[in-house]
């Protein structure tokens, strides 16, 4: 079922969902299941699975280093299919512009369609580790809007190089990213919102936000989006702080602000267990307020470990 159908069916009740990242190559999928299992009692209608950008690795060949481009966490679509099969919940594979030609994207979408995956998250992807800025892949898309257009066209039988009789067409529900504190490359929040509107006008059905730690930022973002004519559901993304290093890392990587009260509480912690507890309690307060405001879904970034998400969900669902 589509994410938007789940939201409609919930009739105003806030749903619980979360995002997972594929394991590093060579690891067992059981590790993922071990993290998903404790969260199933909260009945997520859908689970997101990220896609990683490619990165360079250096292979030692008799003293000479061979530089190869590889994806360390492949398997997004396979993981989505296995989760749907094992747990009977919908999954949302993240589909990226970066690292994929348009043709490769088409084949990923065809695989998803055959596997019964009805939702996809259309994203540009970040710059590769060694790049300062995002460089579009040769033959790929430069912006998420163009990817949304490709998926929307495919939904209507318009493949890249052929128009197909739509006997049993794919009909993906398309999610896109939104940034309450603006995307790091955008010159202003208003410009970024205009770009978001372009994604929705191109066919996106819902938005999931970047993490934020001050709910006011989300409420203002939703209002500004509505004022601009963005009328699709805007799902808040929540990440509990888990280690002290997040105080530097999250603002640096995502260009987001952390509230002073949260910084002070984390600073006062002596152990990472204490930090994790502060992160849980902050996320619970955030989630309670968002739920009271009637958000359609509370979507959690699990980053591979689910014990903190479980503790938060226990208080809310
Ligand atoms: P876009 O919507 O293309 O926007 C990128 C930038 O370009 C913005 O600054 C925008 O304002 C600007 N822009 C857009 N259109 C134009 C235009 N026509 N002309 C000029 N400027 C324009 N990354 C991953 O690698 N894998 C994942 O699985 C993943 N999942 C994510 C899930 C969520 C919910 C979120 C919020 C982010 C995720 N990301 C992921 C990170 C995301 O890929 C990065 O934030 C990326 O830098 C931007 O992606 P986007 O889809 O928002 O890009």
Distance 124 CA to ligand 1 centre (A): 5
55 tagged catalytic: no
Looking up tokens 């699975």, which residue turns up?
49
CA distance 47 to 93: 9
Please tell me the number of Cα atoms within 13 Å of 51 on its side-chain side: 24
Q: Which residues line ligand 1 (CB under 6 A)?
A: 50-51, 53, 94, 96, 123-126, 143-145, 177, 183, 185-186, 192, 195, 199, 208, 210, 237
Looking at the 3D structure of the chain, how many domains does it have?
A: 1
pLDDT in tens, 3-25: 999 999 999 999 999 999 999 99
Tell me the CA–centroid distance for residue 257 and ligand 1, in Å.
18
Residue 93 and residue 122 in contact, taking contact as beta carbons nearer than 8 Å: no
How many beta carbons lie within 10 A of that of residue 125, not counting itself? 23
Q: In a mutational test of the pocket of ligand 1, which residue from 19, 77, 119, 177 has the highest number of ligand atoms less than 8 Å from its CB?
A: 177
Distance CA 272, CA 262 (A): 15
- Give 82 Cα–ligand 1 centroid separation in angstroms: 27
Is residue 219 predicted with pLDDT exceeding 70?
A: yes
pLDDT band at 129 (very low <50, low <70, confident <90, very high): confident
SS3 115: coil
- Pocket of ligand 1, candidates 50, 124, 253: which has the most ligand atoms within 8 Å of its Cβ, to mutate? 124
For residue 94, the SS3 value is strand
Report which ligand 1 atom has the smallest distance to the Cα of 53: 25
In sequence order, the 6+-apart residues with CB closer than 8 A to the CB of 176 are: 121, 122, 123, 144, 148, 196, 199, 200, 204, 206, 207, 208
The CA 175 to ligand 1 mean position distance, Å, reads: 12
CA of 125 to the centre of ligand 1 (A): 6
Q: Would you say residue 34 has pLDDT above 80? A: yes
pLDDT digits (tens, 9 = 90+) for 168-212: 789 999 999 999 999 999 999 999 999 999 999 999 999 999 999
For residue 3, how many C-alpha atoms fall within 13 Å in the half-sphere facing its CB?
A: 31
DSSP 182: -
Structure confidence by residue, pLDDT tens digits, 73-114? 999 999 999 999 999 999 999 999 999 999 999 999 999 999
DSSP-assigned beta bridge partners for residue 93: 49
243 has pLDDT over 70: yes
**CATH number, residue 180:** 3.20.20.220
| Nearest in space to 39 (alpha carbons), one of 298, 214, 274, 296 | 298
Residue among 50, 54, 183 whose CB has most ligand 1 atoms within 8 A, to mutate = 183
- Assessment of whether the complete model's pTM goes beyond 0.85: yes
CA distance 127 to 75: 20
Beta bridge pairs of residue 95? 122
| pLDDT score of 163 | 75
The three state secondary structure string of 220-267 is: HHHHHHHHCCCCCCEEEEECCCCCCCHHHHHHHHHCCCCCHHHHHHHH
Q: Residues 273-316: pLDDT tens digits?
A: 999 999 999 999 999 999 999 999 999 999 778 999 999 999 99
Choose, from 11, 19, 131, 181, the residue flagged as catalytic: 19
d(CA 122, CA 104): 14
Domain that holds residue 248: 3-314
Structure tokens at 258: 């952390």
């Amino acid at each position: 079922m589509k994410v938007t159908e789940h939201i409609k069916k919930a009739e105003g009740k806030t749903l619980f969902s979360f995002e997972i990242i594929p394991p590093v190559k060579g690891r067992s999928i059981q590790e993922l299941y071990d993290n998903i299992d404790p969260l199933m009692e909260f009945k997520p209608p859908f689970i997101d699975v990220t896609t990683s950008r490619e990165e360079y690795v250096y292979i030692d060949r008799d003293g000479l280093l061979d530089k190869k481009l590889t994806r360390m966490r492949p398997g997004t679509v396979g993981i989505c299919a296995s989760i749907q099969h094992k747990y009977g919940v919908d999954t949302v594979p993240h589909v990226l512009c970066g690292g994929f030609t348009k043709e490769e994207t088409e084949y990923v979408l065809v695989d998803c369609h055959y596997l019964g995956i009805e939702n996809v998250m259309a994203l540009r992807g970040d710059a590769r580790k060694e790049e300062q800025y995002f460089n579009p892949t040769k033959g790929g898309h430069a912006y998420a809007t163009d990817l949304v257009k490709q998926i929307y066209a495919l939904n209507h039988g318009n493949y890249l190089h052929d128009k197909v009789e739509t006997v049993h067409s794919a009909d993906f529900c398309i999610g896109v990213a939104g940034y309450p504190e603006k995307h790091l490359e955008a010159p202003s929040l208003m410009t970024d919102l205009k770009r978001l509107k372009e994604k929705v006008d191109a066919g996106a059905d819902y938005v999931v936000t970047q993490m934020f730690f001050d709910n006011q930022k989300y409420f203002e973002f939703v209002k500004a989006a509505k004022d601009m004519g963005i009328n699709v559901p805007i799902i808040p993304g929540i990440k509990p702080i888990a280690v002290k290093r997040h105080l530097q890392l999250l603002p640096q990587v995502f260009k987001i602000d952390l509230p002073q009260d949260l910084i002070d509480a984390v600073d006062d912690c002596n152990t990472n267990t204490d930090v994790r507890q502060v992160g849980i309690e902050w996320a619970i307060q955030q989630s309670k307020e968002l739920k009271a405001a009637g958000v359609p879904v509370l979507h959690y970034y699990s980053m591979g470990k689910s014990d903190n998400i479980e503790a938060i969900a226990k208080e809310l669902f």
